[in-house]
Structure formats: structure tokens, C-alpha cells
């Protein structure tokens, strides 16, 4: 196979070059500096390789080298983290990628014997800051500087789609000891001076270089692959967890966090990219049959650094030393899933909370009716995040303070999907006015839908429910027009895409003027990942899923209502001077 690698002397390019040569391909290398490229090839023990000199961002004789190739791999572009992000360097980042891709596509168009495949590099920075939201290739583009660069970068590659097959490879942080981000970290971490960036809660989508090479082989071997692909491990981690894993495998401490303001002084606009992140998910890559070589971070680091993987440390739980916030929490949000409307023990514990100086907010997947019943029975004023953020109830339960309402188009599309099925489904429409409208499809007739619907629930036998979920996912969820959950009872729940507990508590905190670092969360279910991520301090119940316990700062010994009591007594009441005075 005849392969042209543009940017072959870069971090990824060198690995791809060696792989393609090992497979017997006829490889042509393109570089801005042919002499330097030849010296590097000799250092790698490679001779007799065709080297073409040229700047891909500028038209020139180099474009003739595209003619007659089977595959063009475009990896060129100024390094994202090579320099401080001044306005001038951001222009270079943009021009080297956007103009470079444009000229490559022009060369393909002008070629007599066109390549059959263009592999075009991009980055998961395309999505902007996505927090803890699992982000596949269907997610929309972000709106920050790097996202804007990636959008224009990819738009140029898309122009080649009428000419050949195009795969846009959205890379995460490539782990390679010979260069890139990891090589920059190593000297600092080896001295025991490593630490998280900012809060460390931002996600890092990473990939071992072995899987970058493997994915490119996969794309070349599978002609049915095309479009955008997240080339990342299926196990993204937070910056804090990455820092911990790297320090452990090097047997060094990592206690030197880099505050956000200091990072901005050093790297300029790049700080915004480093302090935010994406939890990218390689949906299309896995669906196309790719099997990751190193899907787990600890094993990937061990392979990349040629070290033995550090044994996992046991999870620290609450039975040992008390870990507290810097000061008493001012806002506390507590998961009460599965406990409404009675939860006698929880109500008793919460009543003690009236003696503290903090505001307590409850979070649940339940609807307005059960939430209001709980508030009225408790005899206390507890605002509630209802339906995972679909609504926020006032402390007395009488009014909806804010809501995320589904658009009329979305409601209509959901109803259309349900009515298209051969077997019936029972649909429930919940409104911010407290109305609950039920409708069974398959019986004919029509329905007058009320306004302000914040949640739709679908029940039925398994076959139509699976079809319904699949069609709604393809038609609405993949376009980020909705969020969708399946309850433990198998009920399909459809809510607004921004209906999220983490987003809801941010709304409450803004209304109260409460800083993030004084917000505490007591979490128990997967739907509270946003809460655990955003809050300044989080406690997971012992029966919470492992992923939630991994996100939280500490874990209780007890479960369910006993766990809530333990969390409130150990980390809130004990830390609040007002409750001590009133004792």
C-alpha cells in the first residue's frame, strides 16, 4: 500500500511511520525540513524512504506527491501545548491546521490518481467543556477557542468526502513517553513535585499510542469506517485521578497542585483548555469492532513507561479519620432516591439540620407529587431538585422555582415514535403545573397535550419499549435534543438535555450566592455524577455504584438512610459551630 504521512516526524507520525513500514507499505514522508527529517530517519535506523519537503499550509510542489497514493494521513499542525497561548500563537494553531487541511484537500482534488482514504487528525477539544457528561461523536461542537479551531479544521477535511473516504480522528491526550504531554510531566513527577491542575475534577480523555496506531490500522483495514471517530480510551479519568495514577506508578508523591490563576500566567489561554475537559466516549470505534490494547489507565501508563503497574489502593472510607471541608458547608444537597414519600428516618435526621447554618436541598428522580408529599410530611422547608433537574421546587413545595421544559417539537417527535410501533406503550406526560396526563398508544384517537411538559415516561412490554428507546435515541438523544434514562423498574424517562442534578445545584448556588467550595453533596446513584463532580466536597453512600464512589471525596460505612444520617452527622453537624452552640 502506498501511504503519504504528512507530519511524520511528530509524536503520532513517528509511531504510524514505523507501523506502516513494519507492514510492508511504501511510505512517503512529508516534512517542512527535509534535511532534519532525513537525520531523524537515520537515527531511527530507517533509510531509503522518500522524503518530500513542503509546508502543508502553503500550496507548492509538494502537492504532487499526493497523486498516486492509496492513503493520505494528515497529522501536521503546530503543537497545542508547545508554547504559551498568545494571540499570535493561537493564529498559528489555527492556520497550520485549517490552511494545511485545505491545501491537502486541494491536492487530492487536483490528483489524477486520487487516494481512496484521507485520515485527518482532529481532537476531542472539538466538544469544548463537557464536564462529566459522557460524550460520543454525535455531541455538538463547543464554543471555546480550541473547539472553534477543530470545527474549521474538520470542515476542511469534510470537503474531501466527494473525492474519497474521509475519517476524522478526534484524538485525546496521547500517552507516549517519547513526547507530548506525558513527556513534559515526567521530570516534574519524578521529582515528587507533580499535582493536579486546578480542582483536578476536569476529565481527561486519554489514549495510549499503541491504540492510536491500532485505530489507524483499523480505519485502513475497514472500508466501512468514515466520518468522525473519538480515538480515546473508553475509560476517561479526571485530572485528579490521572495525577494519582501517574504518581503511584512512579512511586512518588503528588502534592503540588497548580492553581488556576498560576496556570493562566504560565500558559495563557491554554489554561482554559487544561482546566476544563471532555469525558469522550469512543462509541463509533468500538461499534466498528476495534478492540483496545490498553483501555485501563494504570496498565497503559505501565506499558508506555515500561514499568510494572502499581497495585490498586483500597478505597478510603469514613471509618478512619474524619475528612472535612475547609469550613462549615453553606449549601448541602442530599440524594433521596427510592426513599419518598415516607423516609421516616431521613425526615428525622433532616429535622436536626434546622439547627445548622446551611441550606439543605434534596435531589430525586421522583416527580412533583411524591416530592411535595415528602416536604409537607417533613414539616421543614427543603427545596428539591425533582426529576433529575427537570424542576426545582421551593422549600415549602408549593411552587416550581425553575424548570427545564421539553420543546413542543420534542414532545411531538416522542409521541410520533410511540404511535408508530405495532405494540402499545403507556406514556405519562408530567407538567410543571403538577398535571399528569396518561395516554396509551395503539388504541386510536388523539391526545391534547398540556403545555410545560418537563418529563415523559414510557412503560410497556419489553419488545416495543426496546424499539421505542432505540428510535428515540437515534432521532433525539444523539442530536442532544433530550436526555434519557431507564429506571430500575425499566421505565424509559425522557427529560430536557440540560436537566441534570449537577446543573440544577449550580442554579441553586447562584440564586443563594453560595461559592462552589462551600457546597457539599451526599450522593447515592449514577444520576448524581454531576453533583459529585461539581460540588466542593462530596460523600458517597456505601451502597452507591463504584463510579459514584470513585468520584466522591469520601464514602460512608452505612448505606441508604443510615448512610445519609452518618454523612450529615459526621461531615455537616460536627463541622457547624451553630449546631454545636445549640446542642
Task: Please tell me whether residues 396 and 424 are part of one structural domain.
Answer: no
Side-chain-side CA neighbours of 26 within 13 Å: the count stands at 6
pLDDT, average across residues 451-461: 94
Residues 192, 411: Cα–Cα separation, whole Å: 55
Could you tell me which residue, 36 or 549, shows the higher pLDDT?
36
With residue 520 as reference, give the H or E element that holds it: strand 519-523
- Across the range 539-568, mean pLDDT stands at 83
With bands split at pLDDT 50, 70 and 90, how would you rate the model's confidence at 314?
very low
Residue 106: pLDDT over 50 = yes
pLDDT at 576 over 60: no
pLDDT at 391 (0 to 100): 95
Q: What is the pLDDT of residue 226?
A: 94
- Same domain flag for 205 and 296: yes
50 C-beta neighbours (distance < 10 Å), count: 11
Average pLDDT in the 202-213 region?
Answer: 94
Task: Give the separation between CA 77 and CA 99, rounded to whole angstroms.
Answer: 10
Structure-model confidence comparison of residues 236 and 355, the more confident one: 236
* pLDDT band at residue 224 under the 50/70/90 scheme: very high
Over range 290-309, report the average pLDDT. 87
29-33, 41-45, 357-361, 424-428, range with the lowest pLDDT:
357-361
Domain boundary among 438, 471, 495: 495
Q: What is the CATH number of the domain that holds 419?
A: 3.30.1240.10
Does residue 316 sit within a domain?
A: no
Strands, DSSP E only, in 197-319?
A: 203-204, 206-208, 227-231, 237-238, 279-280
Q: Read off the pLDDT band of 315 (50, 70, 90).
A: very low
Q: What pLDDT sits at residue 309?
A: 55
Cα angle at 427 between 416 and 441, to 5 degrees? 55
370 vs 579, higher pLDDT = 370
| pLDDT attached to residue 579 | 45
The arithmetic mean of pLDDT across residues 546-570, rounded, is 81
Is 349's pLDDT higher than 70?
no
Average pLDDT, stretch 427-444?
Answer: 90
Residue 342, pLDDT above cutoff 80? no
Contact 3, 26 (CB under 8 A): yes
Residues in contact with 559: Cβ distance below 8 Å, sequence separation at least 6, in sequence order:
541, 542, 543
Report DSSP state, residue 540. E
**Confidence grade of residue 583 (pLDDT, cut at 50, 70, 90):** very low
**pLDDT score for 411:** 95
Distance from C-alpha of 181 to C-alpha of 183, rounded to nearest angstrom: 6
> Are residue 348 and residue 261 in the same domain, yes or no?
no
pLDDT at 565: 81
Mean pLDDT, range 537-565, rounded to an integer: 83
| Average pLDDT over every residue of 516-537 | 87
> Which of 259, 287, 305 delimits the end of a domain?
305
**Which residues are CB-neighbours of 516 under 8 A, at least 6 positions away?**
509, 534, 535, 536
Stretch 304-312: mean pLDDT: 68
Distance CA 25, CA 2 (A): 6
- Tell whether 322 is covered by a domain: no
What does pLDDT average to over the chain?
86
**504 in the same domain as 454:** no
Write the pLDDT tens digit of every residue in 124-175. 999 998 887 778 888 888 888 999 999 999 999 999 999 999 999 999 999 9
Name the band, by pLDDT with cuts 50, 70 and 90, for residue 407: very high
Nearest of 245, 246, 235 to residue 279 by alpha carbon: 235
Highest mean pLDDT of the ranges 154-168, 190-204, 263-277, 562-576:
154-168
Torsion, Cα of 211, 212, 216, 221 (10° steps)? 0
Residue 318 inside a domain? The answer is: no
Q: Are residues 254 and 368 in the same domain?
A: no
Same domain, 46 and 179: yes
User: Of the candidates 432, 443, 437, which has an alpha carbon nearest to the alpha carbon of residue 457?
Assistant: 437
Same domain assignment for residues 368 and 276 = no
Residues 225 and 345 in one domain: no
Residue 412 lies in a domain: yes
Name the domain count of the chain.
3
86-95, 107-116, 317-326, 374-383, range with the lowest pLDDT: 317-326
108 pLDDT higher than 50: yes
Question: What is the pLDDT at residue 126?
Answer: 93
User: What is the tens place of the pLDDT at every residue in 482-502?
Assistant: 998 888 788 999 999 989 998
- Is the confidence at residue 34, as pLDDT, over 60? yes
Mean pLDDT, residues 324-331 taken together: 69
- Residue 38 domain-assigned? yes
Q: Are residues 509 and 472 in the same domain?
A: no
* pLDDT for 340: 63
Provide the percentage of residues in the chain whose pLDDT is more than 90: 48
Is 325 inside a domain boundary?
no
What's the pLDDT at 154?
Answer: 94
Residues 6+ apart with CB under 8 A from 350: 334, 360, 378, 380, 382, 568
pLDDT band at 261; cut points 50, 70, 90 = confident
Average pLDDT over residues 437-451: 85
Residue burial 478-511, b: 16+ Cβ < 10 Å; e: rest: eeebbbbbeeeeebbbbbbbebbbbbbbbbbbee
Highest mean pLDDT among 211-215, 251-255, 518-522, 543-547: 211-215
Tell me the pLDDT band of 308, cut-offs 50, 70 and 90. Answer: low
Confidence category of residue 550, pLDDT binned at 50, 70, 90 = confident
Q: What are phi and psi of 230, to 5 degrees?
A: -80, 110
Residue 181 lies in a domain: yes
Q: Are residues 577 and 504 in the same domain?
A: yes
Q: How confident is the model at residue 183 (pLDDT cuts 50, 70, 90)?
A: confident
Residues 518 and 454 in one domain: no
Average pLDDT over residues 72-91: 89
Whether 233 contacts 285, CB under 8 Å: no
Please give the residue range of the domain that contains residue 477. Answer: 408-495
What per-residue confidence (pLDDT) applies to 387?
A: 93
Q: Which of 495, 511, 531 is the last residue of a domain?
A: 495
pTM: 0.58
Residues 457 and 577 reside in one and the same domain: no
Q: What is the mean pLDDT of residues 307-330?
A: 51
Q: Is the pLDDT of residue 415 over 80?
A: yes
Please give the pLDDT value at position 327.
Answer: 66
- Domain of 562, CATH number, reads 3.40.50.1000
What pLDDT score was predicted for residue 346? 65
Q: Average pLDDT, stretch 515-519?
A: 87
313 falls within a domain: no
Amino acid at each position: 500500500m502506498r501511504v503519504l504521512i504528512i507530519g511524520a516526524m511528530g509524536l503520532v507520525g513517528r509511531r504510524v511511520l514505523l507501523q506502516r513500514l513494519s507492514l510492508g507499505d511504501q511510505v512517503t514522508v512529508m516534512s517542512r525540513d527535509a534535511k532534519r527529517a532525513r537525520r531523524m530517519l537515520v537515527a531511527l535506523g530507517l533509510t531509503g524512504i522518500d522524503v518530500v519537503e513542503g509546508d502543508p499550509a502553503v500550496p507548492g510542489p509538494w502537492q504532487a506527491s499526493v497523486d498516486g497514493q492509496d492513503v493520505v494521513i494528515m497529522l501536521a499542525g503546530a503543537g497545542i501545548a508547545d508554547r504559551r497561548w498568545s494571540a499570535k500563537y493561537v493564529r498559528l494553531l489555527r492556520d497550520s491546521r485549517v490552511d494545511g487541511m485545505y491545501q491537502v484537500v486541494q491536492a487530492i482534488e487536483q490528483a489524477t490518481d486520487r487516494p481512496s482514504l484521507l485520515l485527518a487528525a482532529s481532537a476531542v477539544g472539538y466538544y469544548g467543556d463537557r464536564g462529566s457528561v459522557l460524550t460520543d461523536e454525535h455531541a455538538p461542537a463547543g464554543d471555546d477557542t480550541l473547539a472553534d479551531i477543530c470545527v474549521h479544521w474538520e470542515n476542511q477535511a469534510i470537503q474531501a468526502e466527494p473525492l474519497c473516504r474521509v475519517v476524522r480522528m478526534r484524538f485525546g491526550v496521547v500517552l507516549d513517553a517519547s513526547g507530548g504531554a506525558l513527556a513534559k510531566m515526567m521530570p516534574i513527577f519524578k521529582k515528587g513535585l507533580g499535582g493536579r491542575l486546578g480542582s483536578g475534577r476536569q476529565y481527561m480523555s486519554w489514549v495510549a499510542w499503541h491504540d492510536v496506531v491500532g485505530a489507524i490500522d483499523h480505519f485502513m483495514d475497514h472500508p466501512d469506517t468514515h466520518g468522525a471517530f473519538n480515538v480515546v480510551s473508553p475509560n476517561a479519568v479526571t485530572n485528579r485521578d490521572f495525577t494519582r495514577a501517574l504518581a503511584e506508578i512512579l512511586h512518588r508523591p503528588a502534592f503540588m497542585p497548580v492553581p488556576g490563576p498560576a496556570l493562566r500566567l504560565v500558559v495563557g489561554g491554554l489554561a482554559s483548555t487544561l482546566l476544563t475537559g471532555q469525558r469522550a466516549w469512543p462509541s463509533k470505534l468500538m461499534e466498528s469492532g476495534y478492540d483496545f490494547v490498553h483501555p485501563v489507565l494504570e496498565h497503559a501508563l505501565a506499558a508506555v513507561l515500561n514499568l510494572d503497574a502499581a497495585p490498586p489502593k483500597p478505597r478510603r472510607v469514613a471509618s478512619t479519620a474524619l475528612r472535612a471541608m475547609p469550613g462549615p458547608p453553606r449549601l448541602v444537597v442530599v440524594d433521596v432516591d427510592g426513599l419518598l414519600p415516607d423516609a421516616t428516618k431521613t425526615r428525622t435526621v433532616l429535622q436536626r439540620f434546622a439547627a445548622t447554618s446551611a441550606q439543605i436541598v434534596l435531589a430525586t428522580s421522583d416527580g412533583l407529587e411524591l416530592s411535595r408529599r415528602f416536604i409537607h410530611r417533613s414539616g421543614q422547608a427543603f427545596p428539591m431538585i425533582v426529576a433529575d433537574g427537570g424542576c426545582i421546587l421551593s422549600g415549602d413545595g408549593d411552587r416550581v422555582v425553575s424548570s427545564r421544559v421539553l420543546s413542543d417539537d420534542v414532545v411531538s417527535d416522542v409521541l410520533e415514535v410511540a404511535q408508530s410501533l405495532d405494540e402499545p406503550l403507556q406514556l405519562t406526560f408530567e407538567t410543571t403545573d403538577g398535571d399528569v396526563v396518561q395516554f396509551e398508544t395503539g388504541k386510536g384517537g388523539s391526545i391534547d397535550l398540556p403545555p410545560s411538559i418537563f418529563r415523559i415516561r414510557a412503560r410497556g412490554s419489553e419488545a416495543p419499549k426496546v424499539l421505542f428507546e432505540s428510535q428515540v435515541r437515534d432521532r433525539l438523544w444523539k442530536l442532544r435534543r433530550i436526555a434519557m434514562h431507564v429506571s430500575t423498574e425499566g421505565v424509559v424517562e425522557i427529560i430536557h438535555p440540560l436537566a441534570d442534578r449537577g446543573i440544577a445545584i449550580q442554579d441553586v448556588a447562584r440564586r443563594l450566592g453560595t461559592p462552589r467550595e462551600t457546597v457539599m453533596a451526599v450522593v447515592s446513584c449514577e444520576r448524581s455524577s454531576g453533583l459529585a463532580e461539581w460540588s466542593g466536597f462530596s460523600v458517597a453512600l456505601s451502597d452507591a455504584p463504584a463510579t459514584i464512589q470513585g468520584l466522591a471525596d469520601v464514602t460512608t460505612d452505612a448505606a441508604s438512610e443510615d448512610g445519609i444520617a452518618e454523612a450529615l452527622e459526621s461531615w455537616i453537624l460536627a463541622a457547624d459551630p451553630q449546631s454545636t452552640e445549640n446542642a
